[in-house]
């Protein structure tokens, strides 16, 4: 394992719209950023560079790459050389502690982390200069985990539009509703957590038996009496590699994980527009003698309008595509919902990164090795 560290010289940049650190608690504690990296996509270097220009006085960047020959190593070295005054380290080799490749990759960085807060953030995330300030502002004395609502940056192509429609309509509807009602719903794309609480739960190694490590880390923190808080900024995904096929595969994988962790997920299809509208339309017909198909069409139209309003709210500005593009992407996404769910039920195995895994009830998994 190769480790490169650079001396940290505190820097604080000033911008007209810079978010101030509001809580004295946040000013005292530093943040160790754990960045799992594998491979290079067209946006990796620009995404990663945004973390080197964060406007925060006390943080370190721990770049974790599994293989010496991974092209991400050269990207990391380039940025380390470009920003020598940023406290940053490159960890190559990982540490095999379980079946989860992300945990294995992050272990050396986690063991070297020197601050009380750890921020695990995926490679495809892009941040603003005040993003870390926003996260730490939410980390009050009773909060053990701060997470961001997943969303997608503006990119070109219909696949990008499809992703943005999903992460601006269906996903935040369930994600925000769960958190507002007290249900612990967290994705691991961008999570700021108390390291001592994770250590009490056994550290990262305790979650290496799971594929959905984010769910079980959040559960461990909640089980110890800590609250969750959501950042005001979204966790902005900006991967340079995307397609409709990749989107479908990702949704199927997530559904498989949810089914194995939370069996009640089998009821999830009734929360989707078309199936829910059919059920409600059938009920309206039998109770009020209304025309079922007219009710179905009106209900879908109302859902469609509400989704568009919600998407513009999550976007926080004008959309990068037309209303027609939205309509087409929305219809295709809604039409995919049942097919994605049935595909998840059909095959309990998942492919993730370079491995294949067989899921077990309760969320654990075993790696499928080619003989």
Q: How many CA atoms lie within 13 A of 146 on its CB side?
A: 24
Alpha-carbon distance of 158 to 44, in angstroms, equals 21
Of 86, 103, 83, 84, which is closest to residue 95 (Cα–Cα)?
A: 103
| Active-site residue, from 214, 223, 291, 307 | 214
CB within 8 Å of 67: residues ≥ 6 apart: 92
| Beta strands in 41-122, from DSSP E residues, in sequence order | 59-65, 88-92, 117-121
Cα 122 to its chain centre, rounded Å, is 7
Distance CA 314, CA 86 (A): 32
Instruction: Give the side-chain half-sphere CA count within 13 A for 5.
Output: 10
What is the rounded CA–CA span in Å between residue 221 and residue 233? 22
Q: DSSP 3-state assignment of 294?
A: helix
DSSP assigned state of 59? E
Residues 232 and 91: their CA atoms lie apart, in Å, by 31
Beta strand extents in the chain (DSSP E only): 2-5, 31-37, 59-65, 88-92, 117-121, 125-126, 143-147, 150-152, 190-194, 227-230, 235-237, 349-352, 355-359, 365-367
Query: How far is 326 from 68, CA to CA, in rounded Å?
Result: 42
Q: Are 186 and 214 in contact (CB under 8 A)?
A: yes
Helix (H, G, I), strand (E, B) or coil at 258: helix
Q: Active site includes 214?
A: yes
Identify the residue whose tokens are 């960045």.
35
d(CA 37, CA 71): 10
Q: Which of 13, 326, 54 is nearest to 168 (CA)?
A: 326
Which residues are marked as active site?
Answer: 214
């Amino acid at each position: 394992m190769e480790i490169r560290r650079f001396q940290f010289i505190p820097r604080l940049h000033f911008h007209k719209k810079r978010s101030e650190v509001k809580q004295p608690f946040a000013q005292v504690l530093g943040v160790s950023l754990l960045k799992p990296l594998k491979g290079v996509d067209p946006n990796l270097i620009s995404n990663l560079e945004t973390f080197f220009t964060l406007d925060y006085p006390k943080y370190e960047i721990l770049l974790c790459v599994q293989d010496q020959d991974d092209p991400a190593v050269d990207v990391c070295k380039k940025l380390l050389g470009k920003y020598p005054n940023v406290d940053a380290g490159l960890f190559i080799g990982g540490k095999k502690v379980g079946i989860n490749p992300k945990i294995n990759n992050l272990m050396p960085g986690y063991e070297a982390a020197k601050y009380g807060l750890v921020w695990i953030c995926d490679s495809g995330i892009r941040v603003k200069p005040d993003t870390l300030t926003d996260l730490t502002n939410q980390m009050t004395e009773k909060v053990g985990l701060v997470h961001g609502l997943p969303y997608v940056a503006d990119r070109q192509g219909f696949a990008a539009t499809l992703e943005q429609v999903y992460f601006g309509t269906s996903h935040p509807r369930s994600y925000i509703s769960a958190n507002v009602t007290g249900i612990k719903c967290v994705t691991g794309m961008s999570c700021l957590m108390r390291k001592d609480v994770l250590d009490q739960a056994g550290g990262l190694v305790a979650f290496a038996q799971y594929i959905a490590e984010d769910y079980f880390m959040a559960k461990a923190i909640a089980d110890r009496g800590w609250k969750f808080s959501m950042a005001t900024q979204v966790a902005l995904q900006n991967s340079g590699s995307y397609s409709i096929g990749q989107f479908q595969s990702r949704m199927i994988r997530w559904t498989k994980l949810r089914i194995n962790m939370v069996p009640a997920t089998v009821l999830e299809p009734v929360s989707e527009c078309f199936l829910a509208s059919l059920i409600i339309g059938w009920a309206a017909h039998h109770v009020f003698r209304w025309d079922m198909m007219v009710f179905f069409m009106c209900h879908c139209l109302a859902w469609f309008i509400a989704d568009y309003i919600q998407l513009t709210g999550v976007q926080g500005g004008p959309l990068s595509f037309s209303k027609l593009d939205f309509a087409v992407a929305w219809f295709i996404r809604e039409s995919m919902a049942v097919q994605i769910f049935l595909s998840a039920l059909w095959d309990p195995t998942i492919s993730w990164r370079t491995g294949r895994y067989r899921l077990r009830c309760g969320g654990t998994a075993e790696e499928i090795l080619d003989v």
